[in-house]
């Protein structure tokens, strides 16, 4: 990676050299922190660690909620609809951070499992609304403790104080960078 940071003139690399292909036109000099991030390997990259933590969360969720046969995203959609029945897929995506296509796919799968029912929106015949069925409410109740256990396991290595700090920092990062997600979340 360091080889790609050298320039043809032998000058110090710039952030433009580092961010090649990113569409950003920055010409500030690369700092020592920038080089540490680049040369330090994947374990020094917050994006890698966030993705890895996401994988770990999914694995823990599936271990704890195996009998339910649903994903964390599906559980999230059920949670939103349990609190706000008859939202349309755009509003559901807005609440959970899913684009319209992904929201439609998740809703379709939940409907196929009998966990949701859909109807045509009486105010806009082009859209459909969804609500949790009795079967969906039952699976949520059945999985509630398992889901909570997965969340607790994820944070368990941290002290109670650090758990609160970690959650606070996560919320801060998501809110500050919300506009970059595929689908913006509703403000927390």
Three-point CA angle 81, 152, 106, nearest 5°:
30
Q: Is residue 186 part of a domain?
A: no
Burial of 115 per CB tally in 10 Å (0-12, 13-18, 19+): buried
| pTM, rounded to two decimals | 0.73
Are 92 and 173 part of one and the same domain?
yes
Q: Which domain holds residue 7?
A: 2-40
Are 164 and 81 part of one and the same domain?
yes
Residue 44 CA to residue 91 CA, distance in Å, equals: 36
Are 85 and 111 part of one and the same domain?
yes
147: CATH? 1.10.10.10
84-103: average pLDDT:
92
Q: Is residue 22 part of a domain?
A: yes
pLDDT tens-digit series, residues 129-145: 999 999 999 999 999 99
Domain count for the chain, please give it: 2
Are 61 and 124 part of one and the same domain?
yes
* Chain centroid offset of residue 36 CA: 27
pLDDT tens-digit series, residues 1-49: 333 333 334 444 444 444 444 444 556 776 767 766 666 778 788 999 9
Are 29 and 65 part of one and the same domain?
no
Predicted confidence at residue 39, as pLDDT, reads: 65
Look at residue 160 and tell me whether its pLDDT is greater than 80: yes
């Amino acid at each position: 990676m360091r080889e790609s940071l050298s320039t043809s003139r032998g000058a110090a690399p710039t952030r433009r050299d580092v961010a090649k292909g990113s569409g950003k036109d920055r010409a500030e000099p690369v700092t020592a922190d920038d080089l540490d991030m680049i040369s330090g390997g994947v374990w020094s990259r917050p994006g890698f660690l966030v993705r890895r933590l996401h994988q770990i969360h999914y694995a823990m969720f599936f271990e704890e909620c195996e009998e339910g046969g649903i994903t964390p995203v599906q559980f999230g959609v059920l949670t939103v609809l349990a609190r706000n029945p008859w939202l349309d897929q755009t509003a559901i995506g807005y609440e959970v951070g899913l684009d319209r296509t992904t929201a439609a796919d998740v809703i379709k799968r939940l409907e196929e499992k009998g966990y949701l029912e859909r109807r045509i929106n009486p105010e806009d015949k082009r859209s459909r609304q969804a609500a949790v069925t009795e079967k969906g409410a039952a699976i949520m109740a059945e999985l509630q403790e398992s889901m909570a256990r997965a969340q607790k396991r994820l944070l368990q290595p941290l002290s109670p104080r650090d758990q609160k700090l970690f959650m606070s920092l996560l919320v801060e990062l998501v809110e500050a960078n919300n506009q970059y997600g595929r689908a913006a979340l509703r403000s927390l």
